[in-house]
Structure 1
Amino acid sequence: MLTDRRVADSLSTMPKSPASKSKGLDHVALAILDLLRTNPAGLDIEEIKAGLTYGGTHTHVDRRLRSLRKYYDIPGKRHGGRFIYILGEQKTGETDSGAVSGKLRAQVLGLAKGRCQMCGKTIAEDGIKLQVDHKVPQDWGGLTVLENLWAICLDCNNGKQAHFASYDQDEMTALLKIESVHLRIATFLKMHINEDVDSNMIEFVANAKERQEDWQKRLRDLRYPVIGLKISTGRYQTPQGFTRSTYRLENWRDLPHDHRQLIRAWEKKVNRPALTAKLGLKNVQP
């Protein structure tokens, strides 16, 4: 671990990067970039903050790391009880700046019709202000397109950001790249095995690749004997009076590589006796 003095010295002696300035990164982001360049083994948040002459809060550093990740691979990993950030390769090709155009913003707000698309509060009845937000965060690979934007109130946006910050970015980025919606949901539940997971997060994971008209059915599919996951359901009420569901994975088994074909086959009752015998399923009602 570097001392505060060594981190500060490495910053003061490092020249600024003209190439990075052209990307619109501010001076704080550039300072963090220089720190990571001069410390290839990685730095944790406190070490980065120690090297910034302006001080800075955890939120400020997080925000600048997010802006840098648009242009550089900066994986985070645990090392000796610390969570460190390591500067990787510069990204090539076109990047998504995250800026929402006026036209796109108008489309998103028009679809919301004055209602928060997360909690249901309205501008007219509750006096909320709507913010256009990325459903899948850019840090996790989300794009600035209509399908990945929604209008939510300030409270929901703050709560969402705080909740998402509790997840490991690299883990979630890898998860959301999984093509199979069944495997994506199952893997997410496995990350929280024997814990209650809010239905909003399941829906979020299910819709990460493509819009699922009935994502709850994908959960039911995972309970089929040919898949064999035990997923229990719970309910709770939000402060606004909305009823939400939770899901808990109580066991794990790897999904068969042909899980989608098995699911489709099981849905035809005529196939169930043969599948039960072939797969050696026990205590199954045909």
Structure 2
Amino acid sequence: MEEESPPLPDPDGPDLDQYVRDTSTKTIYGFLYRRRENPPSMVEIRAWAANELGEAHSQIDRRVRDLRTFFDVPAERIDGEYRYALRGWNPKRTGLVGAPITRRVRAEVLAPGRCAQCGRTPLTHGIVLVVDHRVPQAWGGDNEIENLQPLCEDCNHGKKDFYSSHDAHAEEIKQAISHEEPHRRIGELLKAFRGAWVPGELIGIVASAVQYQEDWQKRLREIRTLGWVIRSEKRYNEGSRVRTYYRVESWEPWPTGSISAEIRRRERSNAARRSDDG
């Protein structure tokens, strides 16, 4: 017989202190706790918390992600919009996904002494390095060393802001990441956005979630071999870099068995047809 999960801690009781220490995150927990029967959207959470706490949206989004360490707070589509429902405990409510980050692992991750994103170093630039999850824990990332990297605090905060902008799709992203084959991870992510433009950076993160993909763009192009219609668009007005976005307009069911094998088979067939036509 399955063991019954203990009740959630009262937001005004002492038990919550075991899991949530800062007052602001406790305040948001209390809001979600009281709204369990009528879960709020992220817009509602931000508006309420900004009024109560006076914090920026990125801080509020981060506190919701922090609550997910111990509590089950899925983004559920209700009445046409995503709402954040406090459903119970996170099944992995030890606060960790996988083994904890030991001092030895932390030292190994930070050993390069350089931010993996901007390249700055503590000695030359006076920055502080932190251990970052390449794939966030809220999206299914774990504490294995392959999922950890050194980032400076500035890049870490910027990355969190970028991730929080996709919180409405957190459950779909987590589902896409769960697949073994990179083609399926990319395709399921594009489908989850329902025809909306998806930034290339996000696709790269999801594509490399299980195993690093040096050329995830090639994997994306290969999906078109299966009959998928995927468009791309470059944007030149979003900072100093040109950003590429992708969206899927139509797709076919995944083949039975290995996707890579089926792609190779179709590529050979197409090449033979072109040779015959020539």
TM score, norm. by length of structure 1: 0.69
Question: Counterpart of 2:218 in structure 1: which amino acid?
Answer: K
The DSSP-based 3-state class of the residue aligned with 2:72 is coil
Q: Does the alignment pair 1:64 with 2:66?
A: no
How far apart in 2 are the matches of 1:124 and 1:187?
Answer: 42
Question: Which digits, 9 at most, give the CA deviation of each residue in 1:14-59, with x for residues without a partner?
Answer: 663454333354444444334333332123315753895xx34245
Structure 2 unaligned residues grouped into runs of 5+: 1-9
Q: Does the alignment pair 1:162 with 2:158?
A: no
How far apart in 2 are the matches of 1:104 and 1:237?
Answer: 40
Question: Which digits, 9 at most, give the CA deviation of each residue in 1:74-98, with x for residues without a partner?
Answer: 1234667976422102233553348
Partner of 1:8: none
How far off its partner does 1:124 sit?
6.0
Partner of 1:176: 177
Partner of 2:12: 16
Could you tell me whether the CA contact under 8 Å between 1:197 and 1:248 is conserved in 2? Answer: yes
Q: Does the alignment pair 1:42 with 2:39?
A: yes
How far off its partner does 1:178 sit?
3.0
How far off its partner does 1:183 sit?
1.8
How far apart in 1 are the matches of 2:158 and 2:67?
Answer: 23
How far apart in 2 are the matches of 1:135 and 1:126?
Answer: 23
CA change 1:107–1:79 in 2 (3 A) is same
Could you tell me whether the CA contact under 8 Å between 1:42 and 1:86 is conserved in 2? Answer: yes
Q: Does the alignment pair 1:252 with 2:255?
A: no
Partner of 1:215: 216
Question: What is the identity percentage for the equivalent residue pairs of Structure 1 and Structure 2?
Answer: 33
Partner of 1:188: 189
Question: Which digits, 9 at most, give the CA deviation of each residue in 1:105-146, with x for residues without a partner?
Answer: 211122xx3332123445566554433211111221222221
Could you tell me whether the CA contact under 8 Å between 1:133 and 1:157 is conserved in 2? Answer: yes
The DSSP-based 3-state class of the residue aligned with 2:173 is helix
Partner of 1:265: 265
How far off its partner does 1:247 sit?
5.2
CA change 1:61–1:217 in 2 (3 A) is closer
Question: Between Structure 1 and Structure 2, whose CA radius of gyration is higher?
Answer: 1
How far off its partner does 1:205 sit?
1.0
Question: Counterpart of 2:39 in structure 1: which amino acid?
Answer: G
How far off its partner does 1:214 sit?
4.2
CA change 1:92–1:123 in 2 (3 A) is closer
How far apart in 1 are the matches of 2:246 and 2:114?
Answer: 30
How far apart in 2 are the matches of 1:235 and 1:81?
Answer: 29
Question: Which digits, 9 at most, give the CA deviation of each residue in 1:170-198, with x for residues without a partner?
Answer: 23222222333112112334428574733
Structure 1 unaligned residues grouped into runs of 5+: 1-13, 277-281
How far apart in 1 are the matches of 2:141 and 2:16?
Answer: 22
How far off its partner does 1:204 sit?
0.9
Question: Counterpart of 1:197 in structure 2: which amino acid?
Answer: P
The DSSP-based 3-state class of the residue aligned with 1:32 is helix
The CA RMSD over aligned residues, in Å, is 4.0
How far apart in 1 are the matches of 2:195 and 2:34?
Answer: 40
How far apart in 1 are the matches of 2:277 and 2:121?
Answer: 47
Higher relative contact order (CA 8 A, sep 6+): 2
Partner of 1:33: 29
CA change 1:187–1:27 in 2 (3 A) is same
CA change 1:56–1:102 in 2 (3 A) is farther
State how 1:223-262 maps to structure 2 within 5 Å. Answer: 223-224=224-225, 226-232=226-232, 246=244, 248-249=246-247, 251-258=249-256, 259-262=259-262
How far apart in 1 are the matches of 2:232 and 2:211?
Answer: 25
How far apart in 1 are the matches of 2:238 and 2:23?
Answer: 42
How far apart in 2 are the matches of 1:247 and 1:125?
Answer: 35
How far apart in 1 are the matches of 2:72 and 2:51?
Answer: 21
